[in-house]
Amino acid sequence: MPHPQTWLKPLPEGLFCEPGGFFIDPVRGVERAVITHAHSDHARPGHQHALASAPTIALMAARMGAGAPASTQAVGWGEKLQIGDVTVWLQPAGHVLGSAQICMEYQGSRAVVSGDYKRVADPSCDGFVPVACDVFVTEATFALPVFRHPDPASEIARLLASVALFPERTHVVGCYSLGKTQRLISLIRAAGWDAPIYMHGALVAMCAVYEQFGRRLGDLRPATVAAKADLVGQIVLAPPSAIADRWARRLAEPVVCLASGWMRVRQRAKQGGVELPLVISDHADWDELLATIDEVGAPEIWVTHGREEALIHAAGLRGVTGRALRLIGYEEDAE
Amino acid sequence: MIAFAGLLERLLFTPGRNAKIALMRRYFSTQPDPERGIGLAALTGDLRFAAAKAGLIRELAAERTDPVLFALSYDYVGDLAETVALIWPAKPTNHAPPLLSEVVETLNTTPKAELPGVVAAWLDACDPSVRLALLKLITGGLRVGASARLAKTALAECGEGVAPDDIEEIWHGLTPPYASLFGWIFADAPKPDPLDAPVFRSPMLAHPIAEAELAALDPATTRAEWKWDGIRVQLVSTPGGRALYSRGAEDISAAFPEIVAAMDAHAVLDGELLVVRDGVVASFSDLQKRLNRKTTTAKMLRESPVHVRLYDMLFDGAADIRALPFDQRRLRLEAWFARVQPKRMDLSEQIAFSSIDELAELRLSARAASIEGLMLKDGMSAYLPGRPKGPWWKWKRDPLSIDAVLMYAQRGHGKRSSFYSDYTFGLWRGEELLPVGKAYTGFTDAELAALDTWIRNHTTARFGPVREVERGIVLEVAFDAAQLSPRHKSGVALRFPRIARIRHDKQAAEADQLETLMALVL
């Protein structure tokens, strides 16, 4: 049985599956790409042919326009395809809508590239399915034992308590347009908030794709056309770059909130002028990373990006070999 | 402890004053006694207990975590207490998080050897936010994002018809957990009586005077004194103790022990704290070296000796003389001074004048940097708390000004957080621009919006929240005085700089040279 390192290779373009002739999440345009999820650092423009889950393909089309792949192939969860000499199938990664783990088997040797993932339940996407393998390729965005994400429901409770305490102000929550936004909306709805949620224009397109795939988000309205007075006491979602900048001047005495796993560390939260940090992450925290390594049972893990040193050290303590791939181009800060 | 930790976390991140008050009000009105009283003491810095050492929490963490992972984590987080709060692998426990009162009580009664076990059990019972508050509290590193004054303001707003000064005036006679204070604010208990404690009294402040008001003054009933550039202080000496307060009610006794030692007669006095060497008042920057210190060294006492110039008398012995006219209080002050002959104090000189014009000349002739201008007081005025309009005026010297080049701009806070509103400006030394100060007031909202747009379009470099801009905007900067300062690269520091005008008519090259400013240093 060939070791995965003989057929799955880190090249400058990204991880290359040699017997299948395709790259996984390549950082520049290639002939054949398999895409884990539609975030811009994983799904780059300019590919000739891309294979991914149906939601990922729809999200890529909505986000890229002319840069979208020339041809695409959507594949359902667990549906096995033969590409060259490799059997390929996708399993949900639980990161954002459509996010997939790429499972590959070649001559009895199995590798799983998990992309970005989380293990905690998320009403806005399908949950992670562990797949036993010989090499598990993992992210390490929050791979330090200081990162233990709290229950997201308790963070939403803090947001709603603040809305109640400051009824004369507008709460503006910074969140990335794909994934975090829709998860926040789902969590806010689950906490019983049925009122309209107002949105920055940059978040609208991704929400429409979620709706198209049956993820109900409730009454969403554009913040851009709403009068200042209409936004008093309301929740507004916007990209992190807008919440403390000129765009936010339209809001009534905004309480600036930011939903991100980085909010766990105070200095980091304070830097951005955030008034209410919400620790809500779409990446696995330290405990989830280790639990996943245990569950998939791989004797070896490869770490794509993040704090690989700590994760490889911790894997070593469990008798699992770790290797840093040092792939270039993935943004660890975007969350 | 949970509610207190939540309050601390929100205060730390909340920039707005009113929002901070709202957070504290909620805490005071929802927490039971004695928790809210202990919390109040923690907010005002009046909590006293035997603090644990930072080494204790380091050892606790070492027992439970892998050293490599701890080191990597500490390196990332950068703060020991926060690292431990986040990394702590809690053992399952049936214990609830401790109450704030329980933490303080336990720290004061537990033998040192038992402390690690006690703290570890607390950490097991808490979530990371509470752990952090706990660790900061017990190691004495608690940083509160609100001043003591703001906490008292929030508490006053919980009561009916209670002003912050009402609390201030009894505060120093009270001790944690302030049961009588909360009883007065929230229930029908009587206002606590501070008895003989050396409590603070709200000082009387002056308004800046305008032309018309100046013309209306009667020289016969107006008293003039120099307005000194030091720190306004209140000296309180009673049979129950002594205290030196800033005008914001902060007890600054510990920073100025020589003044406290000199206050050995029963009285409440109002004056200006100054550094005086051989009878000459030094610049404010000398006094700054003595500020905000919990202790002092013999060297500091020797190199920057302080002195109080007395303006007024509030209590003569036990007698409250605030209702008496200024002239009568002044006589009482002079008599007291002659009798007691206190060290490190003198009387503020009363300036003789017969007309406002004569006064105007005197004001112009005062060149000492330590003089800000004149104080004009109605001889009949009672000593009233706050800033009543009419009885007292301040007539500051006309500001000095320079034309400086905008060099850096920084985002403001709160309402201004989306604007570049803090400006660093510089003067030329040959071809080089040297920063000489920072200002963030003096412009209109419209000017701010225009500057903000210009800055965004002319940025040459970014350093976090700071942008470096092209040399294209000349600012006329007004300031009260220029003083030599070894701490600044330009060697000079400005007192109260503010933007007087935006000089759209000037090119950057036409701005002033550094030597022009140096010539204004006194």
User: Does the N-terminal peptide bond of residue A2 adopt cis geometry, omega within 30 degrees of 0?
Assistant: no
With CB atoms and an 8 Å threshold, state whether A166 touches B415. Answer: no
> Which of B90, B122, B139 is a domain's end point?
B139
Instruction: Judge whether B177 lies within some domain.
Output: no
Say whether both B214 and B361 belong to one domain.
yes
Q: Which of B136, B152, B227, B377 is catalytic?
A: B227
Say whether both B384 and B453 belong to one domain.
no
Average pLDDT over residues A271-280: 88
> Which of B396, B425, B446 is a domain's end point?
B396
A209/A197 Cα distance (integer angstroms): 17
Chain B residues near residue A290 by CB distance under 8 angstroms? none
With CB atoms and an 8 Å threshold, state whether B72 touches A310. Answer: yes
User: What range does the domain containing B442 cover?
Assistant: 400-518
A97/A259 Cα distance (integer angstroms): 18
With CB atoms and an 8 Å threshold, state whether B66 touches A313. Answer: yes
Say whether both B29 and B95 belong to one domain.
yes
Question: CB contact, 8 Å: A140 with chain B?
Answer: no
pLDDT in tens, A128-164: 999 999 999 999 999 999 999 999 999 999 999 999 9
With CB atoms and an 8 Å threshold, state whether B76 touches A270. Answer: no
Say whether both B364 and B413 belong to one domain.
no
- Is residue B227 annotated as a catalytic residue, yes or no? yes
Report the SS3 class of residue B504. coil
Instruction: Judge whether B193 lies within some domain.
Output: no
* Interface probe with A: pick from B10, B11, B13, most Cβ of A within 10 Å: B13
Asked if this assembly's ipTM is beyond 0.90, the reply is: yes
Instruction: Judge whether B42 lies within some domain.
Output: yes
Q: What is the pTM of this model?
A: 0.81
Question: CB contact, 8 Å: B14 with chain A?
Answer: yes
Chain A residues near residue B128 by CB distance under 8 angstroms? 148, 150, 264
Residue B282 sits in a domain whose CATH number is: 3.30.470.30
Residue B509 sits in a domain whose CATH number is: 2.40.50.140
> Which of B330, B363, B396 is a domain's end point?
B396
* Interface probe with B: pick from A146, A148, A151, most Cβ of B within 10 Å: A146
A158/B446 Cα distance (integer angstroms): 36
With CB atoms and an 8 Å threshold, state whether A266 touches B76. Answer: no
Residue B100 sits in a domain whose CATH number is: 1.10.3260.10
pLDDT in tens, A178-237: 999 999 999 999 999 999 999 999 999 999 999 999 999 999 999 988 888 999 999 999
* Interface probe with A: pick from B8, B12, B24, B418, most Cβ of A within 10 Å: B418
CA dihedral A55→A60→A66→A67, nearest 10 degrees, is -140
Question: CB contact, 8 Å: A155 with chain B?
Answer: no
Q: What is the pLDDT of chain B when averaged over all its residues?
A: 92
Say whether both B248 and B294 belong to one domain.
yes
Query: Residue B272: beta bridge partners?
Result: B232, B309
Q: How many domains does chain B have?
A: 3
Q: From the CB of residue A79, how many other CB atoms can be counted at a distance below 10 Å?
A: 11
Chain B residues near residue A168 by CB distance under 8 angstroms? none
Say whether both B353 and B459 belong to one domain.
no
Instruction: Judge whether B186 lies within some domain.
Output: no
Instruction: Judge whether B81 lies within some domain.
Output: yes
Instruction: Judge whether B183 lies within some domain.
Output: no
Say whether both B213 and B361 belong to one domain.
yes
Question: CB contact, 8 Å: B69 with chain A?
Answer: yes
Say whether both B359 and B412 belong to one domain.
no
Instruction: Judge whether B503 lies within some domain.
Output: yes
The predicted pLDDT at position A117 comes to 97
Say whether both B392 and B474 belong to one domain.
no
Say whether both B213 and B266 belong to one domain.
yes
Q: What is the pLDDT of chain A when averaged over all its residues?
A: 94
Say whether both B303 and B348 belong to one domain.
yes
Say whether both B335 and B413 belong to one domain.
no
Three-state SS string over B66-92 comes to CHHHHHHHHHHHCCHHHHHHHHCCCCC
Average pLDDT over residues B99-113: 92
pLDDT category of residue A332 using cuts at 50, 70 and 90: low
A42/A24 Cα distance (integer angstroms): 9
The predicted pLDDT at position A335 comes to 64
The single residue listed with the structure tokens 């309205």 is A221
Instruction: Judge whether B268 lies within some domain.
Output: yes
Interface of A with B in 247-276 (CB under 8 A): 248-249, 253, 255-256, 264-267, 269-271, 273-276
